Structures are given as C-alpha cells and as structure tokens.
Amino acid sequence: MTPLLEAEDLNVWFELPGGSELHAVRGISFELEPGERFGLVGESGCGKTTAMLTIMGLLPPNASVAGEVRLNGENILARGEESVSPHRWNDIAMVFQGAMNAFNPVQTVGAQIEEPMHLHGIAEGKMARRHVEELLERVGISKDRAARYPHEFSGGMRQRAAIAMALACEPKILLADEPTTALDVMVQAQILELLASLANDFDLALMLVTHDLPIVAQVCDRAAVMYAGEIAEAGTIDALYHTPRHPYTRLLFAAIPDLHAGGERVASIPGAPPRLDRPIVGCPFQPRCDKAFEPCPTVTPRLKRVGEAHDAACHLNDLVREATA
C-alpha cells in the first residue's frame, strides 16, 4: 500500500554568499501513515526544520532540492511551486516554530484564521465565520473570542489559534515545528494533548519536529533521530529508548535528566556537530562518538535495517551482525 506521505532521498542545499554551499539535508527518507504520530528529533542545525519546509515548498530562493516527496504516490516536488501549491494547506499544513508570535497584531484572530479559507476557496462570508468558530471551539477556545486581537490571548491560546489556522483547510497531515518550546510545562501538556486528540479524531497524520526527546517519547509512535542532516536512527519510540542502535540516540537520551532517576549520571556529549558547508568524510558523529572504531573516520555508514521497522546508520551494527552470523 502506498504510504500517505513518503520522502525519498531528500537533499537540500543552500547557496551561501561567497559561493559556498551548505548541504543541510543529506539524503533522508521517511514515511507517514494516516493518523500516525511521527517524531523528527534532533538538535539545532540538524536539518529537521529544513526538511519540513521542503515538504511545504517554502524554502528560500537560495535553496536547491533533490529527491522526492510523494503524497499518495504523487511526487509533489516534480514541478516545483506548481506541483506543491495545490497541496499546501489543503493536504499538508504546518504550525511553524514561533507561530504563536507571528499573528498580525492589528487584525482579529478570527479574520486571520479565515484568510486561508478565502485564499483556497473553501468558504466565504457567514459560512467561513462559522467554520472559524467551529475550529476555535475544537482547539479549546471559546468562539466569541474570534473577534479579539492577538494581544488579548495568552501564549497558550495563541498557539491553539495557530493550530486552528493550520487546520482551516482540513489537511490530512500536520507538521508541527517545536509547537511547545516557548510554553510552560502545564500549557505544553495542554497543547500536546490537543495535538494528540486532533490526530485521533481527524485521522490526521502528525509530524512533530522537536529537540525534546521526552515529548516525542510521550506523544509519538515512531521517530527518526537526525544528526548533521542525516537520519542516524529511526524506529518505534520504544525501540529508540530501550534498544538504541546508534550511539547518538543513546547518548542523547542519557544527556537528559529524568524526574525520578535520582542518582543516574547525566552526561553531555562532548564536541559539536560538523560544519555542513564542507564534505563530511566517514560517519558525521564519529568525532563525538564513544564507540568509534576503525572504519568510522573514513567509511560513511548507511542507514540499514537492524530490527523490525528499526534502522540505524552505524558500523557497530555490522559487527553485531558478523558476530551473530
């Protein structure tokens, strides 16, 4: 069966002033099924936001793209803007990082949620206004607040309104980029609960992009861990936590303090990610890896199947395979 959304060997380069090129996304592939909650995890600069903007066809002009993004089997990158724009907001919507701070301060929140409906010819006039009220109620905002301005909303309410706006054209896929990063933990819990219930009720496929592993652990079914523009490991969130097959995944979990893990050692990962404006030789994580061995500095590890629906790009897994073969 064709997946709902499928990215295959996606690459993104940014042309920098001075002629050099930054290879931000380096051949990543993933699939998304209807109603699935998928996490894309990584630290700043790993390419996760760029990958999302590629799917939305919203990269800046200095970007060039290779690879395919297939929606129900159709490559929406095939003819650039022409092939992406019919699907943007209608099939695939995105809540941008900091969306809650991106409302126009001099327009009511209701009018701003209504705008995409006009642009996409979904609804007009009274019907559009009623649709706005339904959307607001669905995300937990009283409908009479549609006539209010953004400054009259708290941060959590603005984020709910941003989600309502993304849902205006009834998409099948929602990309949420760090949707709770600036919010307090209680409001974060409210927003995550909302996203999960929307995914459930509308069979909405949710792609949660975040640096925060515990959020993904609590919300998502599957996740991919990105490092230096590549997917280091992908699998069920349970497998990533309990049986990680890439040292980066293991070390990333071990770098986060847990509420109840008292005396357990929490350690940062020494070093920094490689620069993406020059070629990377060998494994990109090798200089920071505590398990690097002979092939790592020179041979680039490919993403390989290591278990059921579990992939990792690490030479260690070849050793395990040889040992058990």
Partner 1 sequence: MSTNGSGPLLEVEGLVARYPIGRGLVGALRREPTLSVRAVDGISFSLNRGEMLALVGESGCGKTSTAQSVLRLIETDGGSIRFDGQEITGLSASALRPLRRRMQIVYQDPYESLDPRFRVGATIEEPLEVHGIGSRSERQAEVRQALEVAGLTPPDLYIDRYPHELSGGQRQRVAIAASLVLHPELLVADEPVSMLDVSVRAGILSILDGLRDNGLAVLMITHDLSTAAHYADRIAVMYLGRIVEEGPTHEVIENPQHPYTRALLSVVPKRDPRDRSVPQILRGETPNSIHIPSGCRFHPRCPIAIAECKTVDPELRRPAASTDPAHRAACIRV
Number of residues forming the site for partner 1 (CB under 8 A): 42
42 vs 110, beta carbon nearer partner 1 = 42
144 binds partner 1 (CB under 8 A): no
List all residues 6 or more positions away from 106 whose beta carbon is below 8 Å from its beta carbon. Answer: 149
Of the candidate residues 237, 280, 306, 312, the single one contacting partner 1 (CB under 8 A): 237
How far, rounded to the nearest angstrom, does the alpha carbon of residue 177 sit from its chain's CA centroid?
A: 6
Give the torsion through C-alpha atoms of 197, 200, 202, 205, to 10 deg: 100
Q: Cα-Cα-Cα-Cα dihedral of 73, 76, 77, 81, to 10°? A: 170
- Alpha-carbon distance 207 to 161, whole Å? 18
Tell whether residue 136 is a contact of partner 1 (CB under 8 A).
no
Stretch that binds partner 1, among 71-79, 99-107, 211-219, 297-305 (CB under 8 A): 211-219
Candidate ranges 55-63, 110-118, 154-162, 302-310; the one touching partner 1 (CB under 8 A): 154-162
Nearest to partner 1 of 126, 242 (CB atom): 242
Is 211 a binding residue for partner 1 by CB under 8 A? The answer is yes
Q: CA 320, CA 325: separation in Å to the nearest integer?
A: 8
Residues 6+ apart with CB under 8 A from 49: 97, 177, 209
Q: Does 309 bind partner 1 (CB under 8 A)?
A: no
Cβ proximity to partner 1: between 134 and 258 the closer is: 258
Q: Enumerate residues 17-76 that contact partner 1 by CB under 8 A.
A: 43-44
Strand partners, 210: 41
Nearer to partner 1, 93 or 208 (CB): 208
Classified as helix, coil or strand, 274 is coil
Residues contributing to the site for partner 1 (CB under 8 A): 43-44, 154, 156-157, 184-190, 192-193, 211-215, 217-218, 237-238, 241-242, 251-253, 255-262, 266-270, 272
